Structure 1
Amino acid sequence: MKKSLLGCILLCLASPGHAQLAQNLTVGSAKALSLANAVTADTPGIDSIHYNPAGLYKIKGRQYQLKVIAGQFTISGTVERSDRYRQLMDQFGYDDAADPVQEGESATSDVSVMLPFFGLTEIPVLVAPLGGAAVEWNGGQFVMGTSVFAPMIVGYKRSENGPLRYQGNELGLTHLTYFSPTVAFPINDQLTFGMGLHFNYTGVGIDLDFRLPNAILVGVDSLSGVLCQLPELSEVVNLCEGDLGPFTDIGNIQVEVENYLNPAFNLGLLWEPNDWLAVGMVYQSGASKKLQGDFKITYGEDWLGFFGGLNGTVIGDATTGLLALPKGVAVEEGEASLEFTVPQHVALGVSVALTPDWKLNTDLKWTDTAQWDQFKLEFDTAPEFLPVLSFLAPEQVSRSSLAFPRGYESVWSWALGVEHRYNDRLALRFGYEDRGNSIPTDKADYLAPFGEAYLVGAGFAYAPGSNSLLEVGVGMLVSENSAADNTSSNANDYHQLIYNPYAGVNLKTDVRAYLIELSYQARF
């Protein structure tokens, strides 16, 4: 299921370490990046198709756009064992070596993205052929255009057998707009309306190791230790051929699901009552579809040995009828699906020309990330471990499904941008965006290592001729999150079985991104 692709097409995003791209960072709009996405009322040319389709009406004649993105990204997570963790380890007789997750900081080691036709793919460079075109029709009665861009790309690969592997050896999430027919037209001399239909590819791929450090499995481990001291009971019950405890590697799960036709729409308004004020609004519908693909589960040796020994005993045969115990299949493969929603988004922006040479943009935004309440995987053929887990955690697990609770929140954010027109050819831009935090502290984890975040941008626009425009934007994104021991139900809770593989750990995450984006727009 893993494939290697040595990148090859024109535009690339180089990352010597590792990468994670988030919402609006990979659209490729140099103007939007330099103004920290405060462009709802000060629309960015052909990129208005995404940011505010009403702004497309500003295009004159026939224009095309080419874009290049480059960046360096750092994603790290810190594991710190809590005092309560150490007390429980002593209480139940475990030494430090029993838990393979060691303390310290770990960082992602490479880039991994979900690509159409290739799936979850490790690449040394991220290939991103982006661009678009727009045409003015009927003497300026309306403008039509389309563009290729990626509103959201998330991807990373962690080092093999690293401490954070239980929440992702590898992750790729891609939402790519490959065709976006958009039209913009005036309602009157001051008000413009735009609408676009977006055809998207959406894909999710994940590779993670699975374990359940929970009191239930501590009890199973303790019972096994007692029974293994009584070999005369081996024909009645045999729990000694493997191990099933809080630190047992149940197995490795790989899932790739995708949908090549995931439509959405954008609506935009732009009101310009005079030459110094503009007010813009955009609604992005989001997109919701069932993603389909395949899964592969490779079970750990201790898991296989434990149930291999139990099967065929008196207790094992009796329990199998009740719980459908695993039969000891080492590898399972089949089809899987995931109902996945790209959240809807609303933005309101104001652009004010303070003087002929200085412009101030402000944006207020809302993203409905509360729709990410859980990610529920459905399997066409029930994997062997699900019936056992469904008995222990029926709210999250059935015989054919596994739900990973998320519990994210819808979030408000804001952005400020300043543009200084240095002369007739050159404009300088600066921006700051407070991106908020859709992942509260009690839902923080290593799988989605984002927290409170901000973006700082700068750049310029240069017109080499009357019919062309070169734009450059640079940006820095910083995001941090943390959760003390037993405070996050997505990572380190002692009591919830699904899914808290880091129970007892104080966790911290840190994301740093450094971006440069270039775009060239000209008439044809």
Structure 2
Amino acid sequence: MDHTFTRRNTRRRARIRRAMAAASLLGVGMPLATHAAVNENLLTSVTAMSLGNAVTADPPGIESIHFNPAGLARVKGDREFHNIFLATLNTTAKFHQPDNFDIGGFKNDPVNGTTGGPTRLNLYVPGYGMPGWRLPAAAAATLGFSFNNEGSPFTFGTLTYPQSVFSVDHTKDPNDPMRFDGKRMMMQRLALLSPAVGYQVSDTLRVGVSVPISHQAMVINTDMRLPNKLLGIIGKLQEGWCGDGGNPVDTLAFGLCGGGPEGRINPFKRVANLNVDMTAPIDPTINLGVLWEPKDWFALGVVYQGGSKAVHTGTYEFRADPMMRKFVEGMYASLLGPIAAAVTGMPTSIPEVQKGNVTATIPFPAHWQVGFKFKPVKRVQFNVDANYTKWSEWDALTLQFDQSIKLLEAGRILGITDPSKLSINTGFRSVVHWGFGLQLQATKKLTLRFGYEPRKSSIPADKMSLMTLLPDTKLYSVGFNLKIDRDTDINVGASYLKGDFDAPARSSCNLNCDKFFNAIYNPYAGMDVSGGIRVKYIGFNFTKRF
């Protein structure tokens, strides 16, 4: 008997090692689907999505590791979990020029009357980076394992899964008007491993803890323009002072004409392209859960998902267009221009390319979720969850560069005090939103699922931007569970998320304010901007004993 027991334990340890190795490899190499959102719990679970993410009081098997680790204690035996899903995303924005539109004398913005799109998707592969291809849809696979000895109150497990994903790509059309506020944007947090344990305290009470060990990445690539009134006034001065052939007196003045045609200021022209690629390769957090099931018809679940403040490091590149470079050259080629440039803090020159290293501290906010399960009759179950995420911790995004950026030095007159930093006031807020799920047991083997989740945006209207385009949205979902046999389950889910926004001129100072000192960053100053987001999702998973 001792030898038999030893052989069984040896085989068991070998299975565990193979399972952990497979999970690690999948976490490093998986292609991740994308989603534009401040988006807790989106794309994490097929089962949860089909129930409006209202699963805290009835956590789904191995995926309990994320939603409520206490639910892991309900998983008996050794099990493996496989998940595949597909997502498509479309974001749109329409631009309209209101009456009396005027940016320092310029009264016709080229983006007036245009619509942005189509949207493509990107992915970030840990250890490699973001591939160059653009996808109309994205597919992904995740993997998990759980281990439980017969009769033991402990269940152990690990899961690879996306914790938070955000992606937009507007590079397909080179004239897409949305390219000035996120030509390509990616923010992705992937749990590579999530060692977890659930413990059955009694027949009605379970507790659990998991430690997601995550890789976080942020990529920003955007064309930049500065439709600012002061720049417009300078451009109109050039038109009057320089004319078509320049002005011979200009070299004795301020050099407004010295940059030639390329140095003529137009507030609607592209100023530069910014590309930033940063990662925080290893960032652990903690999930704590409690599950109380005093009756067959009632259960209560509570989960706390810890946050972090991950320090991201990476590279940046500013690629300046001729307009500002030639303008500065012209000023320094004149008699009085260097004096005016020194007074306003202008650099002596702006290189075409300036690149180096960048750092940023980016919070991953803590999240609380409380859920209830009700079964008024045997075959009908209602789930209700309340969600709270502390997005208010992320009130600004500050990129710290390893040197003073010459292009930003040229913006000192517009209120940029430290050209070694680029800071955007995100103004995120903490909100509560609800999720609702309905399960109908059609047969002994088939359970139907329906979900509804009205998601209140964490982005206030006066901070809306196209980089973080997520207004209030509604998630509608359906799905089913099919028990193939006592050891195998299949889950299928599909969902549709939609939301719209309307930002009248000057309503958001991350988008369309037109004051003198709102240059960074309002690429559609004075414009009415409206649009929305649509996401379609379908997923499939199965769990079996091994």
TM score, norm. by length of structure 2: 0.88
- Give unpaired runs (5+ residues) of structure 1: 1-8
Is 1:219 aligned to 2:224, yes or no? no
Q: Does 1:354 align with 2:368?
A: no
> Which amino acid is 2:432 matched to?
W
Matches within 5 A, 1:212-251: 212-228=226-242, 230-240=247-257, 241=259, 242-251=263-272
Q: How many residues align?
A: 504
Aligned positions of 1:188-207 closer than 5 A: 188-207=202-221
Query: Contact 2:400 / 2:420 at 8 angstroms: preserved in 1?
Result: yes
d(CA) in 2 for partners of 1:119, 1:390: 34
Give the aligned residue type for 1:171.
M
Tell me by how many angstroms 1:285 deviates: 1.0
Match of 1:374 among 384, 396, 402: 396
Counterpart CA distance in 1 for 2:29 and 2:511 is: 40
Q: Deviations over 1:400-449 (max 9, x none)?
A: 10101111211110011111111211111111011112122222221211
Asked if structure 2 preserves the Cα contact closer than 8 Å seen for 1:228 and 1:238, the reply is no
Query: Is 2:53 aligned against 1:37?
Result: yes
State the identity %. Answer: 29
**Paired residues of 1:102 and 1:163 also in contact (CA < 8 A):** no
Cα 1:145/1:103, change in 2 over 3 Å: same
3-state SS of the aligned residue for 2:282? coil
Q: Which has the larger radius of gyration?
A: 2
Question: How far off is 1:137 after superposition?
Answer: 4.2
Matches of 2:499 and 2:230 in 1, distance apart? Answer: 35
Counterpart in 1 of 2:317?
Answer: 296
Whether 1:277 aligns to 2:287 is no
Cα distance in 1 for residues equivalent to 2:81 and 2:189: 21
1:258 equivalent to 2:279? Answer: yes
Secondary structure class of the residue paired with 2:239? helix
Q: For the residues of structure 2 that align with 1:119 and 1:392, how far apart are their CA atoms? A: 35
What amino acid maps onto 1:170 in structure 2?
A: R
User: What is aligned with 1:130?
Assistant: 142
Q: Counterpart in 2 of 1:52?
A: 68
Q: Could you say which residue in structure 2 is the equivalent of 1:427?
A: 447
Secondary structure of 1:200's aligned partner: strand
CA distance in 2, matches of 1:385, 1:94: 23
Aligned partners of 2:502, 2:453: CA distance in 1, in Å? 21
For the Cα contact (< 8 Å) 2:85–2:141, is it kept in 1? no
Aligned CA distance change for structure 1 residues 508 and 453 (closer, same or farther; 3 Å): same
Which of the residues 46, 60, 67 maps onto 2:83? 67
Flag structure 2 segments of 5+ consecutive residues without an equivalent: 1-27
1:326 Cα deviation (Å)? 4.7
* Residues 11 and 457 of structure 1: CA distance in aligned 2, closer, same or farther (over 3 Å): farther
What is the Cα deviation at residue 12 of structure 1?
A: 6.8
CA RMSD of aligned residues (A): 2.1
Q: 2:524 aligns with which of 496, 499, 502?
A: 502
Q: Is residue 26 from structure 1 mapped to residue 43 from structure 2 by the alignment?
A: yes
Give the Cα separation in 2 of the matches to 1:174 and 1:10.
14
- Between the aligned partners of 1:152 and 1:289, the Cα distance in structure 2 is 14
Work out whether residues 291 and 301 of structure 2, in 8 Å CA contact, stay in contact via their aligned partners in 1: yes
1:128 aligned counterpart, secondary structure: strand
- Output the amino acid matched with 1:257: M
Q: Residue 4 of structure 1 aligns with which residue? A: none
Structure 1 CA distance for aligned equivalents of residues 227 and 296 of structure 2? 63
Q: C-alpha separation between the residues in 2 aligned to 1:11 and 1:205?
A: 18
Residues 7-18 of structure 1 mapped to structure 2, 5 A cutoff: none
- Partner Cα separation in structure 2 for residue 402 and residue 50 of structure 1: 34
Contact 1:20 1:155 in 2 (8 A): yes
Match in the other structure for 2:12: none
Distance, in Å, in 2 between the alignment partners of 1:266 and 1:13 is 22
Aligned twin of 1:6: none
Give the letter for the 2:69 counterpart. Answer: P
Alignment of 1:155 with 2:160, yes or no, is no
**Aligned to 1:217, what secondary structure does the other structure show?**
helix
The answer to which structure has the higher strand fraction is: 1
Residue of structure 1 equivalent to 2:94: 78
Matches of 1:127 and 1:69 in 2, distance apart? 6
Alpha carbons 1:450, 1:509 under 8 Å: kept: no
**8 Å contact from structure 2 (residues 90, 119) kept in 1:** no
Q: CA deviation at 1:515?
A: 0.9
- Residue 447 (str. 1) matches residue 467 (str. 2): yes
Cα distance, 1:392 vs structure 2: 2.1
Q: How far is 1:457 from its partner?
A: 1.0
Other-structure match for 2:501: 481
Query: CA separation of 1:168/1:188 partners in 2, compared to 1, >3 Å: closer, same or farther?
Result: same
Aligned equivalent of 1:164: 178
The alpha carbon displacement at 1:203 in A equals 0.6
- Hey, what does 2:154 align to over in structure 1? 142
C-alpha separation in 1, matches of 2:323 and 2:105 = 19
Deviation at 1:108, TM superposition (A): 3.3
Is the contact made by 2:51 and 2:478 (CA closer than 8 Å) also made in structure 1?
Answer: yes
Alpha-carbon offset, residue 138 of structure 1: 7.3
Aligned 8 A contact 1:19 1:74 in 2: no
